[in-house]
Structure 1
Amino acid sequence: MLCGGTGGLVADFEGLGNSMNENFFQTVFEQASEGIVLIDGASRYLLEANKAFGELVGYPEELLFSMTLNDFIDLSPVGVERLYNQALAGKDQYVGEVKCRRQGGTLIDVELRLSLIHFGEKELFCAVIRDITMYRRVEKDLLETGGRFRQAVFAAPLPIMIHAEDGLVVVVNSEWTKRTGYAFKDIPTIDAWVRKAFGTDSASMFEKLGFLYKTKTACTYEDLSVTTSNGEKLVWNFCSAPAGTLPDERRLFITIAMDVTAGKRTENDLKAALHEKDSMLREVHLRAKNNMQVIMSLLNLQSRYINNPDAQEFFRESQERVRAMVLIHEMLCNSGNPARIDFNEYARSLVGGIISAYSPNQSNLQVEMRISRIVVSLEIAVPCGLIIHELVSNSLKHGFPDVKSGMISIDFDCDEAGLYTLVVGDNGIGLPRGLDMEAPATLGLSLVTTLAKQLQGVVEFIGTSGTVCKISFRG
């Protein structure tokens, strides 16, 4: 700390109620990177000056305290006095850009902050001087070598910041200030920007924002939530890329931000709507399953009052058909997508239930299932499931009358053109000769043709050994 020749300000004001101690001066003055001076309010002479100020102006310590602000600021005495009077009259400190004269007459661009301080009955001025020559030089270089680029930066409809690799902010355009409320003087560094934009979360954001001044790739993107000066929450998509170097070889980067707040809100609304839709679908499937289980129970109760075996079989078949649909709704309730179902998993569960219901003791029965991993909608799953139910149960009941063994095969696939093919076959006795498939005599086969029409598909019964039914349709 540089002190005046009268023993320093502490000695001058010893005994005042608000005296400043040596530790305070050491902390504020010695660690400050900006030039700081204390000026006597009456004589206008310098009383204290920190090391940064001495280096800034280049005068030796023994000369500083015989000088006034007029010796450093490139303004007329009247102009300098006007600054004092503005600080005296104003509630806030004076802030402005002026020229500073160094020893030897060299002029540099500085930002001057001048404020009034009261110590008892005495008045002091505190001047904080920051060298902004580098900023002005960069602006000049941008103007001279890239006038169109500069014009584009400041006229761009998107927020733009230019900064150095050490976090020094060189330029922010008017759109950045307009949208955030933070001007260039408010965010001299990336650290200052992070503290203002992220507040209590700033510590965790420093590393995330490291890409802003460390990226080596052509372009880096990231969505982050920022807070404006008036407390509004925004979501910005940051894009940062290298943009040359400063005169001292520090790398420069340009960061462009896009406000995606509305898009994020829409995205969140859509996610909420989809979640609500999924919940509603699951509730629909759950209620459908419960209602169908009630129907199965009613059919079961009703069948107990019927003595005719054929009529009881009709009731049992109806129960199994309802069970095929219950299984679909049950799987949809528990799936990740309540609108679509894994047909491979469904068909295997369905066929296992049919075999248990119709032929629990057929240990020699073989079932071959070649089903692709296809996820289908409810509109496809229900008719295809019922078709499989009718054909498999028909094979179990009528296909092997003499030998309690045989083979049932099920194939289901979809080609690249969207053509589905369902083939259900057995190696049993086959269909009765002369059966008219346009007007089948049994309810089961009639259901197969009706369900195929519902799918807008084509039904074919092929082969001479056993029964093979092929249904082709488009999803």
Structure 2
Amino acid sequence: MNLRGKTLIIIGVTLIVLIFTLYMVSQALIIHSFDEIDENNARRNMEIIQGALLKDMESLNDTAQYMSKNFDTSLLSPEQESNYIKKNLTNQNFINSRINLVVIYDSSKRVLYSKAFDLEKKKQIPVSDELKNYISNGSINSNSNTSVNGVLALSNNPMIISIWPISSGNNRSTSYFLMVGRYFNSEEIKRNTGIKTSEIKFIPHTTQNMYFNEIDPSFSKETPVMIQSNESNSINSFTILRDDLGKAVYSLNVKMPRTIHEQFYETVLYYLLSFLIIGLVIGVILLLYLDKVILKRLSGLINDVTTIGESSDLSKRVSVTENDELQKLGNSINQMLYRLELLNNKILVSQRKYKTIFENTGTATATIEEDGKIALINKEFEKIVGYSKTDIIGKKAFLDFVADEDRKKMSHYHTLRLDPTHSHAAPRNYEFKLLTKKGNIKNIFSTASLIPETKKTLISLLDITDKKNAEKALKASEEMYKTLIKTSPDALIVIDLKGTIKFLSPRALELYDYNHKKELIGENITKIIDSTEKERIFPFFENVFNKGILKNTEFKMSKKDGTNFSGEVNVSVIKNDQGNVESFMGIIRDITHHKKIENEIKRSLNEKEMLIKEIHHRVKNNMQIITSLLNLQSSYFEDENVKSVFKESQNRVKSMAMVHEKLYQSKDLARINFADYIKSLALGLLSSNGIDSNVIKLNLDLDTFYLGIDTAIPLGLLLNEIITNSLKHAFPHGKNGTITIGLRKKDSIFIMSISDDGVGLPHDLELENSTTLGMKLIMSLVDQLDADLTMERIKGTKFIIKFRELKYTKRI
């Protein structure tokens, strides 16, 4: 069967199955669902109408009760009836209360008053004889104490009746009853409930025409609603109205048209029929269209593709007409042919590209035929072996370039590689020695594999001669470092970040008196450090971790037998390839002998320090003796000038003695605190000259500096001369005044100033030409200090001395 026949069968079967499926689904689900909707709608409408009827009865009962309570039969007398009727039973009251009948009768069934009203026409009408006969026949069992509610089955229209007893005035021998009636108006109920398509009927459960039945709302509400849907165009709903004994007295029947069912059923049938007709028409048109537009053209495409496949000419294309899916299919086929053509061209380009890569790769590469002849090589291969392509391709075998010692191995590998059952035994990577044109031997790392679907071998060569040489050098270096470690006088230990010993040199075993490495490998570093040092260990290694290296740190070490020795430790970190610290390397040196020598040197220095202090002390004492001798000598003279000369000499000796005193009192035996020296010297001069400090005051503005003896002694003598001069000449006749001494340092220059606010020096006095001993001594000391001296005569006299500290020079 061809494609046309298959298409026709598929369309027909599909259409039939679809129509049948739609009909069955609509019959089983949709139509049944709408039947349920009709029944639920009828039940709901019955409940609404029943509720409206019972509510209407309750409303009428309330109206009758109200009227009976406000009615007096005495008002029925001829003289009062007219006024009461006119006032309370007007037409408007009938309209407002929605009542059609008011009847007043006594216990003997005699009608005293009656009035009927047509609410639709809004006018009074005669009371029917049927109703009067009904009352006079005594069909209603009236009770003087209770009300009666029910339905009166009149011939023309049922009436809802409510009867209430009324007051009889002073005459209590006769009972009176008020009957209020309202016609059952199905149209009004439809209008009030919004149900406009229902037919409402009262059906009494008796064969009599004139029959009154009392209805109890509470019993009637509990009666279920029954649905009867036998008719195809309508649906009936029934409910029972019961009296106060629960007895069925009336049937309320509501008949509704099945409009939803009918409309939907007609729509479904029409839809299915239309679908069948349209489907048949479309099927025929579709078949003709498919044959003309698709099937014929598709056959043409198949023929074109078959022709192109047989010719293997990818440049040909299938014919394409119109603008539709077949045209897109044709274009897709042409695009596929175009891509195949491009792919074929790319394969050719790829072959050229890979040939270029083969030629220009940085690795020497060659292809070897099954017989071992070299079929293709690149430039790098030429460089390694020293031959050109013309000398190699097709002329030389690969084994011609293999050194004799590896030729058998290489031949065996080639044989295994060509044997499918043993090819897995041939290694892919291996090393061998290659023989160059010049006869040189090169170490080669090779990678060899078969080219798929061929017996050719692709082999690449990497010259590792330099690497081999480097490995030899590295091995030699390792041997050298091993020798260094073995022969080093210092112990070498490597620990991890947790303090676990990972390596130690032979010297470490010897230093700590252990026999085997296994006694310490894996132990914590605290095992070889004295317990008194344990608190220092981890802060020390944390410091090494942060700084990278710490040198010349002393620890008290512990040997195997528990004895201790002093160790000097140099520790640095060891980092991994990522730059993270992974361990510590420590070099430990036994410095016990050095510590002993160091202690001896310290003891010798302490002895020398004591000796120097003793010398300074003795010098100071000798100078004090000289001072005492000068003082004793001056007592033999009565001339004040002579005594003054002796006094000045004493002060000069004291200034030098004070330097030696400060030196042996100082921690640094070579330098003194010169600010402290100035203060002591100035106060001593005031005291030795018998001057009250309240008369001549000292103002000291001194920075703390330490000066050596070579600078301190001449500077002290210079200070002594200037202060003595001020005390002698600046304040004559007990004049009050102030001597100010300052000491500063700017860069490497010391600046000392001595000033007074006394009478000042004579204006004709020149320091360089002065003949006095004091001034000559001042200038001599300035030269000795290599200092600059300036003098100011503003508000007294001020000396400014700028100097550098003299460097110590050996005397011997």
State the alpha-carbon separation in 2 of the partners of residues 291 and 212 from structure 1: 54
Give the aligned residue type for 1:471: I
Of 174, 180, 185, the residue aligned with 2:517 is: 185
Q: Residues 33-48 of structure 1 correspond to what in structure 2 (within 5 A)?
A: none
Query: By how many angstroms is 1:174 displaced?
Result: 3.3
What corresponds to 1:303 in structure 2? 634
1:414 and 2:742 aligned: no
For 1:302-321, list aligned pairs within 5 A: 302-321=633-652
Given the alignment of the two structures, is residue 163 of structure 1 paired with residue 502 of structure 2, yes or no?
A: no
Q: Which amino acid is the alignment partner of residue 343 of structure 1?
A: F
Pairing partner for 1:454 from 759, 784, 790:
784
Question: In the alignment, is the contact (CA less than 8 A) between 2:500 and 2:524 conserved in 1?
Answer: no
Question: Quick one: which amino acid aligns to residue 423 of structure 1?
Answer: S
Q: Secondary structure of 1:391's match?
A: helix
1:413 counterpart letter in structure 2: R
SS at match of 2:585: strand
Q: Which runs of 5+ in 1 are unaligned?
A: 1-145, 245-250
Distance, in Å, in 1 between the alignment partners of 2:738 and 2:778 is: 20
How big is each residue's C-alpha offset from its partner over 1:151-181, in whole Å with a ceiling of 9 and x where there is no partner? 7874445532223456543321234345555
| Secondary structure of 1:363's aligned partner | coil
Structure 2: how far apart are the matches of 1:414 and 1:168?
Answer: 56
**3-state SS, counterpart of residue 322 of structure 1:** helix
Residue type matched to 2:520 in 1?
P
Shift of 1:385: 1.2
Counterpart Cα distance in 2 of 1:305 and 1:280: 38
Relative distance call for 1:161 and 1:361 in structure 2 (3 A) is closer
Does structure 2 conserve the Cα–Cα contact (< 8 Å) formed by 1:212 and 1:253? no
Question: What is aligned with 2:242?
Answer: none
| Alignment deviations for residues 121-140 of structure 1 (CA, whole Å, 9 cap, x no partner) | xxxxxxxxxxxxxxxxxxxx
d(CA) in 1 for partners of 2:558, 2:532: 15
Measure, in 1, the Cα distance between the counterparts of 2:628 and 2:656.
15
1:404 aligned onto 2:404: no
Displacement after TM superposition at 1:309 (Å): 1.9
Q: 1:287 to 1:414 in 2, by over 3 A?
A: same
In structure 2, the CA distance between the partners of 1:253 and 1:194, relative to structure 1 (3 Å rule), is same
Q: Is the Cα contact below 8 Å between 1:166 and 1:213 reproduced in 2? A: no
Residue pair 2:791, 2:800 contacting (<8 A) in 1 also: yes
Partner of 1:204: 532
Distance (whole Å) between structure 1 residues aligned to residue 606 and residue 665 of structure 2: 15
Q: Is structure 2 residue 667 aligned with structure 1 residue 336?
A: yes
Larger radius of gyration: 2
Residue in structure 2 matching 1:430, options 740, 743, 760: 760
Residues 171-180 or 308-317, more deviating: 171-180
Specify the code of the residue in structure 1 equivalent to 2:691.
P
**Alpha-carbon deviations, 1:96-148, whole Å to 9, x = none?**
xxxxxxxxxxxxxxxxxxxxxxxxxxxxxxxxxxxxxxxxxxxxxxxxxx999
Contact 1:324 1:389 in 2 (8 A): yes
Number of the residue aligned with 1:130: none
Q: Secondary structure at the match of 2:520?
A: coil
CA spacing shift, 1:191–1:335, aligned 2, 3 Å: farther
User: Is 1:325 aligned to residue 636 of structure 2?
Assistant: no
Q: Aligned partners of 1:300, 1:438: CA distance in 2, in Å?
A: 31
**Structure 1 match to 2:793:** 463
- Write the deviation string for residues 394-441 of structure 1: whole angstroms up to 9, x where unpaired: 11111111452112121222221x222222121222212322422423
TM-score, normalisation: structure 1: 0.58
CA, structure 1 residues 171+426, in 2 after alignment: closer, same or farther (shift >3 Å)? same
The share of aligned pairs that are identical, in percent, is 28
The answer to which structure has the higher helix fraction is 2
User: 1:288 matched to which residue of 2?
Assistant: 619
Cα distance in 2 for residues equivalent to 1:212 and 1:389:
55
CA distance in 2, matches of 1:437, 1:305: 33
SS at match of 2:732: coil
Structure 1 stretch displaced more, 206-215 or 286-295: 206-215
Cα 1:439/1:212, change in 2 over 3 Å = closer
Is this contact kept in 1: 2:743–2:752, CA < 8 A? yes
User: 1:292 offset after TM fit, Å?
Assistant: 0.6
Label 1:162 to 1:148 Cα distance change in 2 as closer, same or farther (>3 A): farther
- Separation (CA, whole Å) in 2 of partners of 1:388 and 1:224: 52
SS in 1 for 2:704: coil
**Structure 2: gaps (5+ residues):** 1-473, 577-581, 806-812
| Shift in alpha-carbon separation, 1:310–1:211, aligned structure 2, 3 A | closer
Kept in 1: contact 2:499–2:525 (CA 8 A) = no
1:47-126 alignment to 2 at 5 Å? none
**For 2:540 and 2:683, how far apart are their aligned partners in 1?**
60
- Find the aligned partners of 2:768 and 2:516 in 1 and give their Cα distance: 83
1:254 partnered with 2:585: yes
Q: CA deviation at 1:188?
A: 2.0
Q: Which residue of 1 aligns with 2:183?
A: none
Q: Which has the higher contact order (CA 8 A, sep 6+)?
A: 1
Amino acid at match of 1:290: N
The superposition leaves residues 201-239 of structure 1 with CA deviations (integer Å, 9 ceiling, x where unpaired) of x33244444468888544566312446689894532142
Q: Deviations over 1:279-322 (max 9, x none)?
A: 22211110101101111111122222222222122222211221
Alpha-carbon contact 1:163-1:169 (below 8 Å) kept: yes
Query: 1:384, 1:181 → 2: CA distance?
Result: 62
Q: Structure 2 vs 1, CA of residues 262 and 448 (structure 1 numbering), >3 Å: closer, same or farther?
A: farther
Q: Can you list the C-alpha shifts for 1:351-395, whole angstroms capped at 9, x where unaligned?
A: 011112224235232322222211101111111111111111111
Normalised by the length of structure 2, the TM-score is: 0.36
Relative to 1, partners in 2 of residues 1:166 and 1:384: Cα closer, same or farther, differing over 3 Å?
A: closer
CA contact (8 A) 1:359 1:396 kept: no
Q: Give the superposition deviation at 1:189.
A: 5.2
Residue type matched to 1:185 in 2? K
